Structure 1
Amino acid sequence: MADAGKTWLIEAPGKIERIEACLTDRGYAPHRHDTYTVGLTLSGIQSFNYRGAARASAPGQMVILHPDEQHDGRAGGEGALRYRAAYIAPAEIQEVLKGEALPFVDGGVSTDVRLYRAIKALLHDYQRPLTKLEYQDALYDLALGLRDAAGAALAIKRANREAAAHARDYIEDHLASGFSLEDLERATGHCRWQLSRDFRAMFATSPYRYLTLRRLDLARRMMREGGAIADIAQACGFSDQSHFGRAFKQTYGLTPKAWARALQTPARSF
């Protein structure tokens, strides 16, 4: 187990992005993810600003952050904060809910029992990767739990899922190069502005921000393997190291160097 008196960050094994973190004197600067953040406070008080108000999560409570909503994070009061979190793409929630609005849990903190069961299934057995069926089971329960915790879902006009997915694939194939909405229009055969709306409905963020987030995902993979940050920034399509550093901190709340220093080996299950 990592030292509970120091700031550290652990990544769970497997394809699903899951972390455990301990914060003491260091917090996260304001930042945004293009995913749902679903977390469980293990010890200490998780304090954060979200949608214009100060929030707090005590041990056993869950933090539910909607995609692309700015937030920060720190230990509240005395003592260290320890928590676990998973990052779930909104498109995966849409796959379960099919045509409903993405659920929004007001306030960002919940004690909902159904949500707790789904989130614990994602985060409990932390030392091994989740099987595909195990993840799909938890994802289904999470999507319905989010919908119930958010209240009655509002029906929305169905997005063109095929066009949005085609645009996503094009973006992921062109991470190191620049492109425009006109390029996406030519690649998908769909109106650029309708495509932009469909993309936001499916992925809860814009095509440009999706590109930035995927570049940062690639950069983090390269940083885990070592290498100079300036070289990684260039390889991932950023104009320079300064541009990369700003984008990284705006997304993860830490500078690239601070994030790399905080990484630790996996801890035992709670």
Structure 2
Amino acid sequence: MDIDRKSDTRTEFAKFGFVEASQRIEGLHAKFVRHEFATHVHDTWAVGAVLSGAKDISPKREPRRVVTDGDCYALPPHRPHAGRSVSDHCEYVMLYVPDQEWREQCAAYGVDPEKFLNSVSSRPQFARQLASFVGLVLRYPEMVAKWTGEWAVFCEAIFSPPGCTEFAQARVASACGSRDFRIVRARDYLREFWDKNVSLAELAREASMSTYELCRRFSATYGLTPHRYQLVLRLTSAKSQLLQGASISEVATDTGFSDQSHLGRHFKSVFGVTPGTVVREAARSREK
């Protein structure tokens, strides 16, 4: 998780940041003990998760709506709500996403935005994913803005059904083959511009289909969403360069990652080892 955790539950803090990607996306990581929010609304979607403690988000004079450790929720624009700790503290993260951007991402994965996390639900994994992405927004906003694939990969993780491993996806690709020339065209486009920031809308135009149809057909054929496919292309190129003796910092820049830690996080998630491990093994091989 990319969020710094505080051990002292009595310490209050609030960290705010934003990125100017396709639309402005804001993040908040906060912990309150005594502070109470007045009833208010946002003009964006408010997607939140409690990391520890508990809070009541209901407006005054309405039934309590308590969100506790590991719970998540999403509020549509202009939905009245408040907030106050109902334990010794409440530490949480929030993501504020413009309505158009949130609905476009939901449509791409066939998700009804009105039903997604419509009520408080216990989803510890989603809470961790949200905390990790908010951490990126707060620490490395230029990275998220530079490559909107970070945002797309996060949306893929929360909207796509679980249980599909990289190995199983590879088998799906070989079984499905290249049945739809539009999907092949989209794949070739990603291969040609693997180091560019290719948006779903741009790729959908190239394939002459909607973003939802593109995501669905592309995933069925290749076992990966378009942005995940592009991410793997970048990482494969990074590994090849590392094996040829390039430095980690040079490779990170060349393959579109903001720094070594950004590259390392995704590299290990796909290959199971860090870039440093590959560099050491490559150097050892050359010495033989």
Instruction: Name the TM-score class by shorter chain.
Output: 0.3 to 0.5
Q: Which protein is bigger by CA-based radius of gyration?
A: 2
Q: TM-score, normalised by structure 1?
A: 0.45
TM-score (structure 2 length as normaliser): 0.42
| Higher RCO (Cα < 8 Å, 6 or more apart) | 1
